[in-house]
A and B are shown apart, each in its own frame.
Chain A
Amino acid sequence: MKLTVWTYEGPPHVGAMRIATAMKDLHYVLHAPQGDTYADLLFTMIERRDHRPPVTYTTFQARDLGSDTAELFKDAAQDAYARFKPAAMIVGASCTAELIQDDPGGLAAALGLPCPVLPLELPSYMKKENWGAAHTFYQLVRGLNNAHAPAPGEDKVERKPGPPRCNILGATALGFRHRDDVKEITALLNRMGIEVSVAAPLGATVADVARLHEADFNVVLYPEIADEAARWLERTFKQPRTTVIPIGVGATRDFIAEVADIAGVDPAKALNDRDLRLPWWSKSVDSNYLTGKRVFVFGDATHAVAAARVAVEEMGFKLVGLGAYNREFAREVRAAAEKYGVEPLITDDYLEVEAAIEAANPELVLGSQMERHIAKRLGIGCSVISAPVHVEDFPARYAPQMGAEGANVLFDTWVHPLVMGLEEHLLGMFREDFEFSDEAGPSHLGGHRPAPQPRPQAAPQPAHAEAEPALAGAEPSQPAAAGDPVWSDDAMAELKKIPFFVRGKARRNTENYAAQNGAQTITVDTLYDAKAHFGR
């Protein structure tokens, strides 16, 4: 058993729902108890979908157990076909139904429904949402294309004449900015003279998925979802697949080069994009204040690795942490972490991520909605770069993460939570202004940044301890252990003159410096010695 406060991913059948809901005429019959229908609201509320997800739940109750749950499943599957007339069905079990072992696949096959029925085996107690989505998509792609596979030894099916043709794979329902990414990348590919044959699963019909094999190659936008399917297509139909994720300026250029190479087209036109503004916005002199901003990145592996590159190479930030919650793609994260000289954090334990962010003391967090909550509690600015998503991650406006416009969006949204350049200087100079102080938060955000909130004490504390503020390391929150340097009153007062957003770092640097130099008491001089030693 694992103690869990919040989860990064839902169960694997929610991943399967993301595929079914993304598509137009696929129906999912899910053997599940009452209550599992909660998952519908993810789509109708968070994503504001105007249709119910195409899912039928068998809704068994305690009194059905051991008597007729299998019958219940068969009735539900038959009714679902009769009512919705889908072009294909997927059938499977949620976590509870997995335990009662009714074999939905076998039961559905016995019904002989007049449409393809694909059974899903999604082990709920081992796997999670992304895996469930990837596996479902793979099963669909294989199930609907396998009949066209060339016999062993035979060459690829003959291609129809015309311009180079690709599929865009991986966008799902409830994905982080998938809607806009697909639009942006479709336009980019079209500018390169490449036709997009099918984008799937988002917006695709069953018939569309069944003709994926007709394209020349596959563009994999979200490896978490499409990697397994794209590899199968590559093996079976000799369709090359892209490996670069076009998030940020550099990665988009690399992506264009990769696609041009696969498709045999000229990349020049796509590389020269007048709408790409990030480079100048970042080089312009007003952006100087972004230099060396400490940023912590956490999310799904694909978005986290991409964000790390943009943060370091295109924004001039300093990366102080990098991690991902999906262990399946840990290798990519480890490689990136090594490149940027940070420790990789591979975990889906929310409390561990919270502790790591607190320890790294960043000025900006780039993460999922989970990290947004952590950052809010710690009083740090945050921009969301990855699922898990919330309703605000489905903006009305066009806001891709990929391609040229995606890069522009990254610049805007990452800079927004930060204190602006001259404001930062003024805050440092005049610490005692009662209206314009660092603790009020960036003034362009209306000073509404939430105050950091204390966490419940982990051990019983005397009553007075609770009254102490828990600002990011501003005040001593516990008595110093024997041997630790002690802050003099003067030095503590001086520390408080350092703006809130860098004070924690200054405190830690000073304490480390004092410890290294064997100082028992931290004086004002120690504080400035440490500043000279470490730099800003």
Chain B
Amino acid sequence: MTAALAPSETEAGCTETEVLRERGQREVFCGLTGIVWLHRKIQDAFFLIVGSRTCAHLMQSAAGVMIFAEPRFATAIIEERDLAGMADANEELDRVAAQVLARRPDIKTLFLVGSCPSEVIKLDLSRAAARLNQQHENVRVLNYSGSGIETTFTEGEDTCLEALVPELPAAPETETSLLVVGALADVVEDQFVRLFDQLGIGPVRFLPARRSEELPAIGAGTRYLLAQPFLGRTGAALDGRGAKRISAPFPLGAKGSEAWLKAAADVWGVDEALFETVIAAPRARAQRAMERYKDTLSGKRIFFFPDSQLEIPLARVLHEELGMQLTEVGTPYLHRGHLDCELPRLPSTVRLSEGQHVDRQLDRCRDIRPDLTVCGLGLANPLEAEGLSTKWAIELVFTPLQGFEQAGDLAELFARPLMRRDILRVG
């Protein structure tokens, strides 16, 4: 345990704190929404949702604006005749998949993405993928579930990456390599590559890779660092391939980014002085960039509705580095194992909640009347109309926030609604 990882400064933290577990209406996206960023990240993959008109409508609405270029995702909409047995659903799926591949010969990986209806009617997409793999030579066909009955929002990335793990080539037994897991903005990935390179850590590979032929090799010598906190199943699959997780906080904020890099540096036995030399400048930049927003954020009370599972690491940054007061921090799912370095850094006064009963949670939020509420798009304007400042949770997923150079952007995202409230004179 290094200085950066030491929990001493935060008393006991909330490792032992009781978590409020809620069941009821959830105001969150299903896992299909992950396709919105995954289809841009993996540039030669196509995501074919096997679902209903609702799934297609969700994708269109969640994307916020439609993308002008043709998207690398589509929906095979199940129709009455598929359900009534008038058409063989498997044959229909083969036909639609062939249609997609004929239209897009540049596609190297086709993901068949399961939805609520496809899972309820028990359409076996793993068998469909095996069948399609035989029919189409130059395409790898995989399947995963993005359904709302199985996955919550970012868990759709988890199930997608989990489906990729068995496809990763085997690394030589003797090779020690670092695998960074979780989709990151390309610019962030490039920054980390430079830092690892300066630290002499390598080879460094990323999952997901930008292109299908660049799938990272994996083996008993692979140590992996999670870049995202919502990858429970992917982590388990990687463990199954013999890779070992490096326990670390997530690379958010100056301290989180430092601790994340330090965790890898310790595994690689990087010299303390070298580590300090490499990160001193970017760390100072990150601190300077965050400092600008500290006055706005310090002492302000923040409330998180559950959304992406990024809530706990973000709350840690806001508490530790920006002086915000945490009221309730909700998360759709709390993975204690992967949050082992995060939970001890939260104050013991925070209320952690897992799952959701949106009406009861709104009642709690109205009682607390926080200075800033982080919530989904369905709740933001109604809460603003009640006089509460809000931050759209989805922006935290669609904005590059990780690493030193983005720490200021992270702070700015939370400060913006408060600064805007102070600027406006519209009554």
Q: Mark B115-137, 1 if CB is under 8 A from A, else 0.
A: 01101110000000000000000
A3 and B148 form a contact (CB under 8 A): no
A34 lies within 8 A of chain B by Cβ: yes
A4 to B99 Cα, complex, angstroms: 11
A5 to B56 Cα, complex, angstroms: 8
A96: contacting residue among B66, B117, B380, CB under 8 A: B117
A456 and B61 form a contact (CB under 8 A): no
A7 and B53 form a contact (CB under 8 A): yes
A373 and B53 form a contact (CB under 8 A): no
B68 to chain A, nearest CB (A): 6
A44 and B379 form a contact (CB under 8 A): yes
A128 to B79 Cα, complex, angstroms: 12
A455 and B54 form a contact (CB under 8 A): no
B209 lies within 8 A of chain A by Cβ: no
A117 to B80 Cα, complex, angstroms: 28
Select the stretch in B69-77, B159-167, B235-243, B285-293 that faces chain A: B69-77
Given contacts A7-B57, A95-B54, A459-B105, contact A373 B149 (CB under 8 A): no
CB contacts (< 8 Å) of A11 on chain B: these are 52-54, 57
B132 to chain A, nearest CB (A): 14
A56 and B25 form a contact (CB under 8 A): yes
A372 to B121 Cα, complex, angstroms: 37
A483 lies within 8 A of chain B by Cβ: no
Given contacts A1-B82, A95-B52, contact A34 B28 (CB under 8 A): yes
Q: Mark A167-185, 1 if CB is under 8 A from B, else 0.
A: 0000000000000000000
Q: How many residues of B contact A (CB 8 A)?
A: 68
B74: contacting residue among A4, A35, A370, CB under 8 A: A4
Given contacts A1-B79, A3-B100, A83-B359, contact A34 B26 (CB under 8 A): yes
B62 to chain A, nearest CB (A): 6
CB contacts (< 8 Å) of B379 on chain A: these are 40, 44, 52
CB contacts (< 8 Å) of B378 on chain A: these are 37-38, 40-41, 44, 52
Most chain B beta carbons < 10 A, residue from A14, A61, A65, A450: A61
Given contacts A3-B100, A40-B27, A57-B25, contact A50 B385 (CB under 8 A): yes
A64 to B33 Cα, complex, angstroms: 22
A463 lies within 8 A of chain B by Cβ: no
A76 and B25 form a contact (CB under 8 A): yes
A453 and B69 form a contact (CB under 8 A): yes
Given contacts A62-B150, A377-B68, A390-B65, contact A2 B54 (CB under 8 A): no
CB contacts (< 8 Å) of B201 on chain A: these are none
A125: contacting residue among B28, B52, B149, B380, CB under 8 A: B52
The A10-33 residues at the B interface (CB cut-off 8 A) are 10-11, 13-14, 33
The B291-349 residues at the A interface (CB cut-off 8 A) are none
B26 and A7 form a contact (CB under 8 A): no
B194 to chain A, nearest CB (A): 31
B83 and A125 form a contact (CB under 8 A): yes
B61 and A38 form a contact (CB under 8 A): yes
Select the stretch in B1-9, B89-97, B244-252, B267-275 that faces chain A: B89-97
B382: contacting residue among A34, A52, A61, CB under 8 A: A52
B60 and A96 form a contact (CB under 8 A): no
A49 lies within 8 A of chain B by Cβ: yes
A211 lies within 8 A of chain B by Cβ: no
Given contacts A76-B25, A124-B52, contact A34 B30 (CB under 8 A): yes
The A87-117 residues at the B interface (CB cut-off 8 A) are 94-96, 99-100
Q: Mark B345-371, 1 if CB is under 8 A from A, else 0.
A: 000000000000001000000000000
A92 to B105 Cα, complex, angstroms: 42
A51 lies within 8 A of chain B by Cβ: yes
Given contacts A34-B149, A44-B381, contact A455 B70 (CB under 8 A): yes
A373 to B67 Cα, complex, angstroms: 8
Q: Mark A42-60, 1 if CB is under 8 A from B, else 0.
A: 1011001111100011111
A2 and B77 form a contact (CB under 8 A): yes
CB contacts (< 8 Å) of A59 on chain B: these are 24-26
Q: How many residues of A contact B (CB 8 A)?
A: 64
Most chain B beta carbons < 10 A, residue from A124, A369, A376: A124
Q: Mark A253-292, 1 if CB is under 8 A from B, else 0.
A: 0000000000000000000000000000000000000000
B32 lies within 8 A of chain A by Cβ: yes
B104 lies within 8 A of chain A by Cβ: yes
The residue of chain B having its C-beta at the shortest distance from the C-beta of A50 within the complex is B385
A36 lies within 8 A of chain B by Cβ: yes
A1: contacting residue among B58, B61, B77, B377, CB under 8 A: B77
A458 lies within 8 A of chain B by Cβ: yes
A512 to chain B, nearest CB (A): 28
A6 lies within 8 A of chain B by Cβ: yes
B4 to chain A, nearest CB (A): 37
A37 and B99 form a contact (CB under 8 A): no
Given contacts A40-B378, A50-B381, contact A3 B152 (CB under 8 A): no
A95 and B116 form a contact (CB under 8 A): yes
B58: contacting residue among A38, A45, A56, A370, CB under 8 A: A38
A369 to B147 Cα, complex, angstroms: 28
A34 to B68 Cα, complex, angstroms: 29
Given contacts A37-B27, A65-B120, contact A5 B71 (CB under 8 A): yes
The residue of chain A having its C-beta at the shortest distance from the C-beta of B116 within the complex is A96
B70 and A456 form a contact (CB under 8 A): yes
B137 to chain A, nearest CB (A): 14
Given contacts A11-B57, A44-B377, A44-B382, contact A100 B27 (CB under 8 A): no
B103 lies within 8 A of chain A by Cβ: yes
A35 and B385 form a contact (CB under 8 A): no
The residue of chain B having its C-beta at the shortest distance from the C-beta of A126 within the complex is B80
The B369-399 residues at the A interface (CB cut-off 8 A) are 376-382, 384-385
B32 and A35 form a contact (CB under 8 A): yes
CB contacts (< 8 Å) of A7 on chain B: these are 53, 56-57, 60
The residue of chain B having its C-beta at the shortest distance from the C-beta of A42 within the complex is B61
CB contacts (< 8 Å) of A76 on chain B: these are 25
A135 to B69 Cα, complex, angstroms: 36
A285 to B29 Cα, complex, angstroms: 54
A431 to chain B, nearest CB (A): 28
A460 lies within 8 A of chain B by Cβ: yes
A3 and B74 form a contact (CB under 8 A): yes
CB contacts (< 8 Å) of B27 on chain A: these are 37, 40
B105 and A1 form a contact (CB under 8 A): no
Given contacts A35-B148, A100-B120, contact A1 B382 (CB under 8 A): no
A99 to B62 Cα, complex, angstroms: 24
A123 lies within 8 A of chain B by Cβ: yes
B30 and A96 form a contact (CB under 8 A): no
A126 to B56 Cα, complex, angstroms: 15
Most chain B beta carbons < 10 A, residue from A48, A59, A377: A59
B120 and A99 form a contact (CB under 8 A): yes
B138 to chain A, nearest CB (A): 11
A460 and B68 form a contact (CB under 8 A): no
Seen from chain A, the residues whose Cβ lies within 8 Å of a Cβ on chain B are 1-7, 9-11, 13-14, 33-42, 44-45, 48-52, 56-62, 65, 76, 79, 83, 94-96, 99-100, 123-126, 128, 369-370, 373, 376-377, 390, 450, 453, 455-460
4 closest A-B pairs by CB = A35-B30, A35-B148, A40-B378, A50-B385
26 sampled A-B residue pairs with Cβ under 8 A: A1-B77, A3-B76, A4-B56, A4-B74, A4-B75, A36-B58, A37-B26, A38-B33, A41-B61, A41-B62, A44-B381, A45-B380, A51-B385, A52-B382, A60-B149, A79-B359, A95-B116, A99-B83, A99-B117, A124-B52, A125-B83, A126-B80, A369-B66, A376-B68, A377-B69, A458-B105
Given contacts A14-B54, A51-B385, 18 further A-B contacts (CB under 8 A): A6-B66, A9-B53, A10-B57, A34-B148, A35-B31, A35-B148, A37-B378, A44-B379, A52-B378, A95-B116, A124-B52, A124-B54, A125-B80, A128-B53, A369-B66, A455-B70, A457-B106, A460-B105
Seen from chain B, the residues whose Cβ lies within 8 Å of a Cβ on chain A are 24-33, 50, 52-54, 56-58, 60-62, 65-66, 68-71, 74-80, 82-83, 87, 89, 92-93, 95-96, 99-100, 102-106, 116-117, 119-121, 147-150, 152, 359, 376-382, 384-385
